[in-house]
Structure 1
Amino acid sequence: MAKQSSLPLFQRVSLRSDKSIALELLLLFLLFSLLTYHFFSIKQYGIPVLLAFLCESFFTYVWILVLNIKWNPIKYVQYPDRLLEQKNELPAVDIFVTTADDELESPIITMNTVLSSMAVDYPVEKLACYISDDNASPLLYYALVETSKFARVWLPFCKKYDISVRAPFRYFATTSGPSREESLEFQYEWKLVKDIYEMFCKKIEDAALAPSSDLPELNKKNHGSIVKIITAKGVPHMVYISREKPHHFKSGALNALTRVSGLMTNAPFILHVDCDMYVNNPQVILHAMCLFLGVENEEDCAYVQFEPGFCHNIKDDPFENHYDVLFKFFGHGTAGIQGPPYIGSNCFFKRKVIYGLSPDQKITTGIDLNLQRKFGQSSMLKESVARVLSASTSASMSLKCTVSSFVKGTHHVAVCDYENGTCWGTEVGWKYGSQSEDILTGLGIHRKGWKSMYCATEPASFLRCAASTVPGTMIQSKRWATVPLEIFLSSMRPISDTLNGNLSLRQCLAYMWLLTWSLRSIPELVYSLLPAYCIISGSRFLPEVSELAILIPIEVFLVFNLCTLSEYLAIGLSTRAWWNHQQMARITSTSSWLFATLSVFPKLIGLSSSAFEVPTPTYDKDMKNKDPGKFTFSKSLIFLPGTTILLVNLTALGIGMSRFLTTSPQNNEAGIGELLCSLWIVLYYWVFLKGLFAKGKYGIPSSTIVKSGVLALLFIHFCK
């Protein structure tokens, strides 16, 4: 908690725009007007209008959820310089880095994440880094040993010259070298450190061909717990952990890290980062501590979720995989309610919150039987838990100096059966029951009445390499959309958490938007085919041009596009970036989200089992891509819906135009709206149209075209 006599460590700033709210409320009114028109037209025009009404009902539901999130966006401005005045009182932080497969996740990128995390502007003696390796990789352990050696050079270099980018692979890739104006000492040390880094990378690459380390060859799916401490002078402690399986996905790894770190360093704060999410702002921990230590009420900050960023930016984000507007709208919007959800990386937690403490729960010093039921039989762990639960998180806690003396106990808490009969994964730690441990964990924290905070810094505090190919983007989008929907449909959370817990109604609606976004794929698909259906069948779902009611869909179209365009322009993005978003939103919703939605329902009735999928990182591939901004295709079925939608609408345009040219003007009014809609859909899928005629990876595979052609013919036959 902030001291009353000191300057505030952060400021809460409202981002609410009355003009934007008025425009968004106008769109809501127009959507209800369109629903009303279609509701009273169902009897007259039949199935097309009924389908339009159902789709627009879902779109209206989504817009209500969006309005709820946007109603009172909040931004926090931190003052880390004020915190540095209290340097001796800074609390300790344990850093968790999780990795699952060194063959899919480059060890060099993982080591850069570790290096950037340890090189932050924070006392070295108050940091410890724990690396979870679910693949029990000798290569990764060897890389960590080499990292500890390189860190003895890298960390002093960064702090001596106040280097802003502290992931060496990014620093040396984005700087051509010191200028002549720099001191001779800096020029010499820059060249020396660069040479050492290149040797460091070469050692890891060579070891990948002939791995050699202290780790024996193991059955990677069945081995005992491994805990190894890697220390170097002037560098934070590094602890390598490969836990015993079964793993419970990433949440199981994080719970093992929590127990091991609880025995060794037991810092009151925990930072979790994925292995490919490196620190880009060296003051990141200070920014987080400004929020944790600056709140008046402790329950106002259970965790601090940092806004993610992406490197290797392509101009105007042609594949909409940086999510700039999404993160700002959702992050700042939920900050004005109960706080942002936990998104699975770049997040700081209070350890006592991870241990399951509620805001109104009072813990006294000592150990009771309840701790054994919750946390297991390790007496050392129960002692460390009791210390954390009874201590003030604002108090300074230093790391233990003799972490090696706790290694034996850490093996015990990292075995697979330690959690039997305990509350790990339910009431304590990261939550089990889904691959999306992030959403469940954040939801569980909010359910208890805690609030969270959203932190967006300049420059971005964390960066990762975004997919720069369309197939990679599509697969990533499908994965991100599948698990949230599974959570919602299997447990009806967060509705139950609002009825039976302390999750606020508005926060419930925000989670509803997050968990059900892939359901939009069904009405999007129907709406993209509806104009073509009406043109081919000679029916309609829009008013005639001569009717006054035609103004309603026109106004919906104009106001919606004005709302979304203004969001892009407000944060400095271009009109081209906005149009790229419009295209990719339609393409993604009718491909990735559609496959995600269709894959969930069989799982709910046990027809298929979920698999632990690691998305293939894209850094090596993308950096060598000669034209990373160009739309590419593959033989994946994920491109089938988009190609089919394009072929159907092209056919409908041909039929509609021929009918328009051969029919008297008096009879053409009925189909003009549908014709324009179909044309607009073709513009959305323009990259698919170009793909029909392109070759190689830039063209749609012939097998996909044939399959889509058959589906299009079946649809046209059905329309007639």
Structure 2
Amino acid sequence: MTEGHDSRLFATEKGKGMVAYRLYATSVLVSTFLIWWYRATHVPSIGEKGRWLWIGISLAEIYIGLYWIVSQFLRLNPIYRHAFPERLSQRYSDKQLPGVDVFVCTADPTSEPPSMVISTVLSVMAYNYPSEKLNVYLSDDAGSVLTFYALWEASKFAKVWVPFCRKHTIEPRSPAAYFSNIHSVPDTCSTKEWYYVKELYENMVIRINTVVKKGKVPEEVLANNNGFSKWNEEMTPKDHPSIVQILVDGKGYDAVEKDGVALPTLVYVAREKRPGQHHNFKAGAMNSLIRVSSVISNSPIILNVDCDMYSNNSECIRETLCLLLDEEQGQNIAFVQYPQDFENNNCYDIYGNSLTVNMALDFPGVDGWGGTPYIGTGCFHRREVLCGRPYSKDYRENWAKGVVRISDETILDMEERAKSLATCTCELNTEWGNGIGLKYGYPVEDVVTGLQIQCRGWKSAYCYPKRAAFLGLAPTTLEQCLVQYKRWGEGNLQIFLSKYNAFLVGHRKLRFGHIMCYYLYGLWATTCFPTWYYVVIPSLCFLQGISLFPKVSHINCF
């Protein structure tokens, strides 16, 4: 490892075996040039059968070869970061650690079951981190009373679940994942206690699933809880007012404790939606959460996760802070990206949904050039940078900042102030979606947002701990895969063809290798054309007796 002396909170290790890989890459490059030379010197003459097919496959090979050359920028300089959380604990007390706002986004209670969403919420509420420093926000873009009901149920179960997790240091802290393993009873926990908590969770899931199936919250719940009064029969997923409700206030008024363990703040947010008003999808939801959280907690660190990516590592926040609080390099890092890992993949991953190559090889390679892209989930941001702060060498974060509550302000007063920041009109004539927050107008708004931040001079870091930080569910059908890959391919190509092309915005701001890494993803969708040609045309030519490849007996091809 380099830079790994005792004062550092993290160390950087260069990839191993790079000399051998570069020799291998050189041999492939030479072979590629020989193929191009063969194609250029053996073009069928004018009028000869198969001439244009030969030219077509030559162009396909040239394009694929060039794309491979670009891909090597991701392989030539990989780095791996290793955090030292024990040094963080020695250097900073819990009171000195910064606050963290966790954003969980959901948009449809049908395709994203509320029981799954609350398992993600409960997993991040149970982080091994001071509860008074932790705030969890659930953004419900459908404004569904069913999702709110599920979160209300989760807020009650959290009074048992969070102390249980911290008392017995269990992993993972998603109850759905934890209780799916019948051998997960910790040594410090009695079987009776384990089954008691498991029964509470299962009964809660049954109640939630029953309500979701009926599509209606029980009358006795509606009558005894004022929070449900915000919904009426006229509200639809595309037409509803802004709703902000603090279900658990972990910082004062009604801090809930059990066994001496306080709960983090838990907030439900549904931004306003109206017909004819563009809501900008997930980017709009994230920007709304940034504004709403600014008047409730305003933590300097923001973590955003998708509703199907539960926390699998309770030490994740502390590992991230090792990178952000490091005295030598931490002030240069704008965001820390974790990989997307999935729990439902197996050895028969026929659609390549595990993303193993991307997460284990490509992203460390991009990190070596100046920082991995922002991929929209499992990412810790500095709030100030996400809100547009430019880079400066003398920048120092005020980790102690946060919302100072007005002494006589009630929770209802705070909710009303926050609601005004989640309306359709609050962004009019502002820089939100342009210079502030996530970028609007792109299917992969996360990538272009990260690119903007890096072009302002900031770095990013990629953290790949031994225990996966987050686990989710990968697409399992061909239709789901095609929809996802279409979105990624179309979005990255749109960025490549726009004014946010990595070369245009990153010229003299990003290293050349870093730009090439963005180009690799930007041009990924276009490789379908030469690939299709190479797969289909030679087979058809074979049926017609047209040979597009040299025979083994052709010893003088080159």
Q: TM-score, normalising length from structure 1? A: 0.69
Deviations 1:427-462 (A, max 9, x none): 110000112111111111111121100011121000
**Aligned ranges 1:421-500 → 2 under 5 Å:** 421-491=429-499, 493-499=501-507
Corresponding residue of 1:339: 371
3-state SS, counterpart of residue 246 of structure 2? strand
Over 4 Å off, 4+ runs: 398-403
Q: Is the 8 A contact 1:94 1:127 kept in 2?
A: yes
Look up the match of 1:312: 344
Closer, same or farther: CA 403–91 of 1 in aligned 2, 3 Å? farther
Find the residue that maps to 2:279 and give its secondary structure. coil
Aligned pairs (5 A) from 1:60-75: 60-75=65-80
Match of 1:82 in 2: 87
Distance 1:431 1:177 in 2: 42
Secondary structure at the counterpart of residue 190 of structure 2: helix
Q: Structure 1, residues 305-341: CA drift from partner, whole Å, max 9, x if none? A: 0011101232343332101122111111011001110
Q: CA deviation at 1:481?
A: 1.8
2:128–2:314 Cα contact (<8 Å) kept: yes
Letter aligned with residue 201 of structure 1: V
Q: CA deviation at 1:524?
A: 0.4
SS at match of 1:198: helix
Structure 2: distance between partners of 1:240 and 1:355: 22
The CA distance in 2 between the partners of 1:265 and 1:403, in whole Å, is 14
State the distance in 2 between where 1:229 and 1:72 align: 46
| Alpha-carbon distance, 1:421 to partner | 1.0
Q: Is the 8 Å Cα contact of residues 229 and 238 (structure 1) preserved in structure 2?
A: yes
SS at match of 1:460: coil
CA distance in 2, matches of 1:546, 1:47: 24
What SS is found at the alignment partner of 2:139? strand
2:551 corresponds to 1:544: yes
Which of residues 262, 265, 281 is equivalent to 1:237?
Answer: 265
Q: Which has the higher helix share?
A: 1
2:56 paired residue among 51, 54, 66: 51
Q: Secondary structure at the match of 1:452?
A: strand
Displacement, 1:33? 1.6
One-letter amino acid of the structure 1 residue matched with residue 116 of structure 2: I
Contact 2:15 2:79 in 1 (8 A): yes
Q: Which has the higher contact order (CA 8 A, sep 6+)?
A: 2
Work out whether residues 165 and 171 of structure 1, in 8 Å CA contact, stay in contact via their aligned partners in 2.
Answer: yes
Instruction: Indicate conservation of the 8 Å contact 1:125/1:398, yes or no.
Output: no
Q: Is the 8 A contact 1:264 1:403 kept in 2?
A: no
Q: How far 1:207 moved relative to its partner?
A: 1.7
Out of 52-61 and 274-283, give the one that drifted further: 52-61
Q: Who is 1:369 aligned against?
A: none
8 Å CA contact 2:443, 2:488 repeated in 1: no
| Partner AA of 1:13 in structure 2 | E
Task: String of CA shifts for 1:108-132, please: whole Å, max 9, x gaps.
Answer: 1110110101101110100001111
1:11 aligns with 2:14: no
Structure 1 distance, partners of 2:7, 2:510, is 32
SS in 1 for 2:138: strand
* Match of residue 321 from structure 1: 353
Structure 1 CA distance for aligned equivalents of residues 192 and 506 of structure 2: 61
Cα gap change, 1:295 to 1:62, in 2 (>3 Å)? farther
CA distance, structure 1, for counterparts of residue 137 and residue 500 of structure 2: 35
User: Secondary structure of 2:105's partner?
Assistant: strand
Task: Note the alpha carbon deviations across 1:19-73, whole angstroms, 9 max, x for none.
Answer: 0121012111211121121122225362232112111111111111111111110
Amino acid at match of 2:548: F
Q: Please say which structure displays the higher CA radius of gyration.
A: 1
Contact 2:499-2:505 at 8 Å conserved across structures: no
| Aligned residue runs from structure 1 range 489-528, under 5 A | 489-491=497-499, 493-499=501-507, 502-528=509-535
AA at the equivalent of 2:472: R
- Shift in Å at residue 502 of structure 1? 1.6
What is the distance in 2 between the residues matched to 1:509 and 1:293?
30
Counterpart for residue 225 of structure 2:
none
Question: Which residue in the other structure is 1:586 paired with?
Answer: none
- Say which of 115, 123, 127 aligns to 1:116: 123
Please give the per-residue CA displacement for 1:390-446, whole angstroms capped at 9, x wherever unaligned: x83263346656782432221221111111111100011000011211111111111
Query: 2:337 is paired with a residue of what secondary structure?
Result: strand
Offset from partner CA, 1:534-573 (integer Å, 9 cap, x none)? 32333222223222366x8xxxxxxxxxxxxxxxxxxxxx
Matches within 5 A, 1:81-480: 81-85=86-90, 86-88=92-94, 89-176=96-183, 178=185, 182=187, 186-208=190-212, 209-212=214-217, 213=222, 214=228, 215-217=230-232, 218-231=235-248, 233=256, 234-245=262-273, 246-294=278-326, 296-298=328-330, 300-360=332-392, 392-393=396-397, 395-397=399-401, 400=404, 404=411, 405-480=413-488
Partners in 1 of 2:193 and 2:410 — Cα distance? 33
Q: Secondary structure at the match of 1:221?
A: coil
Distance 1:11 1:297, change over 3 A: closer
Mapped partners of 1:490, 1:302: distance in 2: 24
1:503, 1:175 → 2: CA distance?
A: 50
Structure 2 matches for 1:596-615, cutoff 5 A? none
Equivalent residues of 2:490, 2:525 under 8 A apart: yes
Number of aligned residue pairs: give it.
516
CA distance in 1, matches of 2:513, 2:181: 43
CA distance in 1: counterparts of 2:290 and 2:393, whole angstroms: 21
> 1: CA distance between counterparts of 2:308 and 2:322?
25
Query: What's the CA shift string for 1:103-154, capped at 9, x where partnerless?
Result: 1101111101101011011101000011111100001111111111111100
Match of 1:24 in 2: 25
8 Å contact kept, 1:126–1:399: no
Separation (CA, whole Å) in 2 of partners of 1:467 and 1:221? 26
**How far off is 1:6 after superposition?**
6.4
Q: Do the aligned partners of 1:319 and 1:473 also contact (CA within 8 Å) in 2?
A: yes
Q: Is the 2:99–2:399 Cα contact (8 Å) retained in structure 1?
A: no
**Distance of 1:490 and 1:6 partners within structure 2:** 45
Aligned-partner SS, 2:245: strand
CA distance 1:549–1:53, shift in 2 (3 Å): farther
In 2: Cα distance, 1:323 partner to 1:198 partner: 32
The answer for unaligned runs of 5 or more in structure 1 is: 363-390, 553-720
Q: More displaced, 337-346 or 461-470? A: 461-470
Offset, 1:295 = 5.2
User: Superposed, which structure 2 residues align to 1:495-644 within 5 Å?
Assistant: 495-499=503-507, 502-548=509-555
